[in-house]
Every structure is written in structure tokens, then in C-alpha cells.
């Protein structure tokens, strides 16, 4: 990887804000306390089944940032999607919006 890094300028930075949790840790944390839980899938996917207490904010909608800005940036936010790809992207967007702690479900709801 260091050769690629030198050749192409790849950065392997790790965020202090975003943490990817395995399904067991994610489940424990969202059930042991009141949390901000966000499903970043489409409304149709959300309607087909979601984690109890989750709020649906579609990562691909034009209102994602606006809706996320209504949440408390000082409190941890737990997010998930179907397989983990969208929530990974959404995590980076949440960090850019100023969220202090973002917890992403590894493998998404299909792994839950």
C-alpha cells in the first residue's frame, strides 16, 4: 500500500469521529440507552422493515444535510443502511456537518 500511496497520493486517514460497530456492539448500544438512530435507506426500504426507534433520512435525498442538521451534533448518532456502503458515505457527510460521534453498523441491517 505504501507504494500506491507514494505513486498516487492515497491517504489512509482514520477518523476519530466515525466508529464502525459490529452488530452485537451496535445492538447493545442502541438498546441500553436513548440514542439518535438513523436509517439512511430510501423510504421504500425503510417501510419494508427497520430497527425500532429509527428515523428515516435518505442518504441520497437532496434534503439529507438539512434533516441531519436538525439532530443534536453533540450527542452520538447511530446510522445504518442495507449493507454498509451508504452508511459509510453518510458517516463522512455527518462528520463534515460537525457531528462529534458517529457509529456505523458494520454490514448494515442485512447483517443485524
The catalytic residue positions are 81
Strands 77-80, 102-105: pairing is parallel
DSSP secondary-structure letter at 20? E
Q: Is 103 helix (H, G, I), strand (E, B) or coil?
A: strand
DSSP-assigned beta bridge partners for residue 102: 18, 77
Amino acid at each position: 500500500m505504501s507504494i500506491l500511496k507514494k505513486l498516487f497520493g492515497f491517504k489512509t486517514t482514520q477518523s476519530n469521529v466515525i466508529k464502525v460497530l459490529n452488530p452485537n456492539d451496535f445492538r447493545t448500544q442502541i438498546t441500553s440507552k436513548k440514542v439518535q438512530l438513523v436509517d439512511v435507506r430510501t423510504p421504500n426500504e425503510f417501510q419494508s422493515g427497520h430497527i425500532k426507534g429509527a428515523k428515516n433520512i435518505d442518504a441520497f435525498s437532496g434534503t439529507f444535510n438539512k434533516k441531519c442538521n436538525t439532530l443534536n451534533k453533540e450527542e452520538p448518532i447511530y446510522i445504518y443502511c442495507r449493507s454498509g456502503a451508504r452508511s459509510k458515505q453518510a458517516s463522512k457527510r455527518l462528520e463534515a456537518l460537525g457531528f462529534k460521534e458517529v457509529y456505523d453498523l458494520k454490514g448494515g441491517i442485512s447483517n443485524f
